[in-house]
Structure 1
Amino acid sequence: MINIFIAFLAYLIDKRFGEFRFIKHPVIIIGSIISFFEHKFYKDSILRGLLLVLFVICCVSFVSISISTFLNNLNIVLNIGFTSILASMFIAHKMLHDSVLEILVSTNKKKSISMLVSRDTQNMSESDIYKASIETYAENLSDGVIAPLFYLLLFGLDGIVIYKAINTMDSMVGYRNEKYEKYGKVAALLDDIANYIPSRLTAILIMIVAKKKNIFAFYEDGKKHDSPNAGHPITAMALMLGVKLGGDTYYFSKLKKKAYFGEGRKNITKSDVKRALSLLYAD
């Protein structure tokens, strides 16, 4: 019950305040640990990548368990209060929401969307920009909101911290390129495992909030995505909006064939983005 209360408070704190810019964000600290290991011990091998994962998880676990032990010795009200504040720093719904909302009002939408996606943006149409915005929002609802809350509910502060460490490792080294093909393989696999349930929970939650009769209708298209997880919330969002997301996309000047997700029109509008943003973030 305490974890439920903490998760609820943490979400409200994030929604109201977002990032606390006056202190160094813990994800940046985790990133520094990852960079330190890579600088000292990098080798493009699966074993070295495994050692990275073990090193980072041990470091963040030690710090998290130490903080949790200290907080558990406090008055229960102080414990819940401080834990909720710390946990809110690992939830990114306000930052995600505001980043996508910024695209709608930006005078240079291509530059704004380029800050959020890895795809080529120079030749994007307005519809392409809005499509990328919705896909990014849907995918990151899982990574940045539902998954952290899921592990906070299950394992308390330690759960959300370790999950975020796994997710950060994947975002930094989990790429299929010359440098990280082997080194990042363990981190990428662990991230896929950690997000397996939360990504599907995110999709189900979207379908429920959208009042869809078949809450599992996302699965058929969702499994067509290259990622074992990302396609499910993207498809659910597409079904909620009545549009098609996905489709062929340019990355680094090369066309990548991608499946379509959802049913309906291909032309994506500003109002579609607004509807997506309002789905789980009502003011």
Structure 2
Amino acid sequence: MEVLTVFILALLWDIALGEPPVRLHPVVWFGKLADFLDSRWRRRSHLLDFLAGTLTALLALAFALVLSLLPLYLPFPLNYILAVYFLKSSFAVRSLYEHVSRTATDDIEAKREAVSMIVSRDTSELDEGHLNSAAVESLAENLNDSVVAPLFYFLLFGLPGALVYRAINTLDAMLGYRNERYEFFGKFAARLDDVLNFIPARITVLLYLPSGGKKVLNHWKLAKFKINSDKPVAAMSAVLGVWLEKLGVYRFPGREPETEDIKRALWVYLVVVGEWLAMVFIPLVMGVCPCLNR
């Protein structure tokens, strides 16, 4: 019941208040740690860069683990408050919805600016169709990274699972680039993130089945571009019936996405999130969740 209580309070926090203040957000702390170590490591050789990047990822992982264990050493009610705070910080239902909803505008420049806030690609030269696509892609991909995956690891390993996953996912977003600076320094974080997301990404696809049926499975077969990230994007493309394309990386078939399709995607997002929260809630209530034995 303690784990169930923490989960319910964290979910209510997310719905009512959204994200914690930036300065106090554990995800920001993970990012600052990674940035500190990254900025002070002068690139040397492929092997040394890989070892330095691996150490950076392990330090972030250890930091997340220490944070997640702090509630065990605090008296009531501080232990509950901190546990709820850390669990809430590992997932983001409301803020993801809010960020993507800002892209659902017919003002092309406002849309371009809003999309630039949620994707890493250069939006300055994208046409309206690709801007709409980028917004929907970000929603689909982050549904896995920011909702399904952290709660999946919470079910398995409790608060340590959720926070450690979030730390690795944050480092992948910061360091996991295929360029000269990060090809080897960010490789360990990127590959570990791939491993951790393998099952959650496929769970996310299955959650789309009630909305898209066989079309989701057909698009899933086309998702051979990435290990994980293109799978939820393919499923969203199937449900909406629109093409979703990251230039030079992947393209899933359909008609051109419009602003209205961003709004439709947000409704699909709420349905899928509702399904997943129910799937998390049920084993916690029944007392059959692995994390209850930890």
- Structure 2 vs 1, CA of residues 164 and 88 (structure 1 numbering), >3 Å: closer, same or farther? same
> Counterpart of 1:183 in 2: which secondary structure?
coil
Q: Which amino acid aligns with 1:245?
A: L
Structure with bigger helix share is: 2
Q: Which amino acid aligns with 1:69?
A: L
Contact 1:11 1:91 in 2 (8 A): no
Q: 1:175 aligns with which of 174, 177, 195?
A: 177
Matched, 1:260 2:251: yes
- Structure 2 vs 1, CA of residues 115 and 278 (structure 1 numbering), >3 Å: closer, same or farther? same
- TM alignment of 1:88-107, pairs within 5 A: 88-105=88-105, 107=107
How many residue pairs align between the two structures?
266
How far the C-alpha of 1:81 sits from its partner, in A, is 5.7
Partner of 2:63 in structure 1? 59
Q: TM-score, normalised by structure 1?
A: 0.84
Q: Distance in 2 between matches of 1:215 and 1:106?
A: 28
Q: Which amino acid aligns with 2:254?
A: G
Q: Distance in 1 between matches of 2:50 and 2:114?
A: 36
Q: Distance in 1 between matches of 2:33 and 2:79?
A: 27
Contact 2:112 2:131 in 1 (8 A): yes
> Counterpart of 2:103 in 1: which secondary structure?
helix
Report the aligned-residue RMSD.
Answer: 2.5
Partner of 1:116 in structure 2? 118
- Structure 2 vs 1, CA of residues 215 and 109 (structure 1 numbering), >3 Å: closer, same or farther? closer
Q: Distance in 2 between matches of 1:148 and 1:193?
A: 14
- Structure 2 vs 1, CA of residues 214 and 10 (structure 1 numbering), >3 Å: closer, same or farther? farther
Q: 1:271 aligns with which of 241, 260, 263?
A: 260
Residues 109-118 or 197-206, more deviating = 109-118
Q: Distance in 2 between matches of 1:125 and 1:214?
A: 27
Q: Distance in 1 between matches of 2:8 and 2:113?
A: 35
Q: Which amino acid aligns with 2:101?
A: L
Contact 2:204 2:232 in 1 (8 A): yes
Deviating above 3 A after TM superposition, structure 1's stretches of 4 or more consecutive aligned residues are: 1-9, 39-44, 78-82, 213-218
1:179-233 CA distance string (max 9 Å, x none) = 111111101000111111111111111223x1515764442012x22x2101110
How far the C-alpha of 1:123 sits from its partner, in A, is 3.0
- Structure 2 vs 1, CA of residues 178 and 207 (structure 1 numbering), >3 Å: closer, same or farther? same
Q: Which amino acid aligns with 2:61?
A: I
| Gap runs ≥5 in structure 2 | 275-294
Contact 2:153 2:162 in 1 (8 A): yes
Q: Which amino acid aligns with 1:260?
A: R
- TM alignment of 1:131-170, pairs within 5 A: 131-170=133-172
Contact 1:200 1:232 in 2 (8 A): yes
Partner of 2:244 in structure 1? 245
How far the C-alpha of 1:86 sits from its partner, in A, is 2.6
How far the C-alpha of 1:119 sits from its partner, in A, is 2.6
Q: 1:69 aligns with which of 68, 72, 77?
A: 72
Contact 2:141 2:229 in 1 (8 A): yes
Q: Which amino acid aligns with 1:275?
A: R
Q: Distance in 1 between matches of 2:2 and 2:231?
A: 30
How far the C-alpha of 1:69 sits from its partner, in A, is 1.3
